[in-house]
Chains A and B, each alone.
Chain A
Amino acid sequence: DTEVTQTPKHLVMGMTNKKSLKCEQHMGHRAMYWYKQKAKKPPELMFVYSYEKLSINESVPSRFSPECPNSSLLNLHLHALQPEDSALYLCASSQDRSRTQNEKLFFGSGTQLSVL
């Protein structure tokens, strides 16, 4: 199983809503990532978890709150978003750069988020 599964695939929310994005992988990977991708742009790193601990926060606004409940799951909690936050949100995983030489990054299909 080389899949990273993201739910939901599409999400429309108002600026006052609270919602969560979910990501799951069963490859035994210990590094998990959230990326944001605008149309026709490359993915932008938001957060990295390594061994369930937050390792990187790329100065992301606090209206985005990540959570890693266990080694297979990654959530992104959304609250009071702005229309400019509309984008494709991608989850990814890798074996873990600090422990092995396996740098392969596996992406999920993403959640297309629209903020009204």
Chain B
Amino acid sequence: QQQVKQSPQSLIVQKGGISIINCAYENTAFDYFPWYQQFPGKGPALLIAIRPDVSEKKEGRFTISFNKSAKQFSLHIMDSQPGDSATYFCAALSSGTYKYIFGTGTRLKVLA
């Protein structure tokens, strides 16, 4: 019940296309859902995050869609660029804890 399932494992997108990564969770106590971007040899960097009281959050080319009833959330990268090529991790956290539960990661490659 503590897992966050992430798909796909890898994704190849043409430059200018839309990249979509999906995550699903079981624990209804989770109330904070961040996405992290990680480049090789670097630590994960917070990209965007959402709480269950909103269904969508947009920051620049990055959008999180959240479906509370389905217990799913997804990251959409619009106008994908080669510089977006990285590994993306979704995560979930429940109030009062320090244990961020990470998804298994998606390796995105954007072709020039």
Contact = CB atoms under 8 A, between A and B. Distances in A.
Contacts of A87: none
Interface string B49-60: 100000000000
B43 A108 contact: yes
A110 B44 CA distance: 9
Q: Which size class do B's interface residues fall under?
A: 20 to 34
A27 to B, nearest CB: 13
B98 A42 contact: no
A109 B97 CA distance: 24
Interface of A: 4, 6, 31, 33, 40-43, 45, 48, 50, 55-56, 90, 92, 94, 97-98, 103-110, 112
State the 5 A-B residue pairs at the shortest beta-carbon distance, nearest first. A107-B43, A42-B102, A48-B98, A103-B32, A109-B43
15 contacts: A31-B98, A42-B102, A42-B104, A42-B105, A43-B102, A45-B99, A48-B98, A97-B97, A97-B98, A103-B32, A103-B34, A103-B49, A103-B93, A104-B46, A109-B41
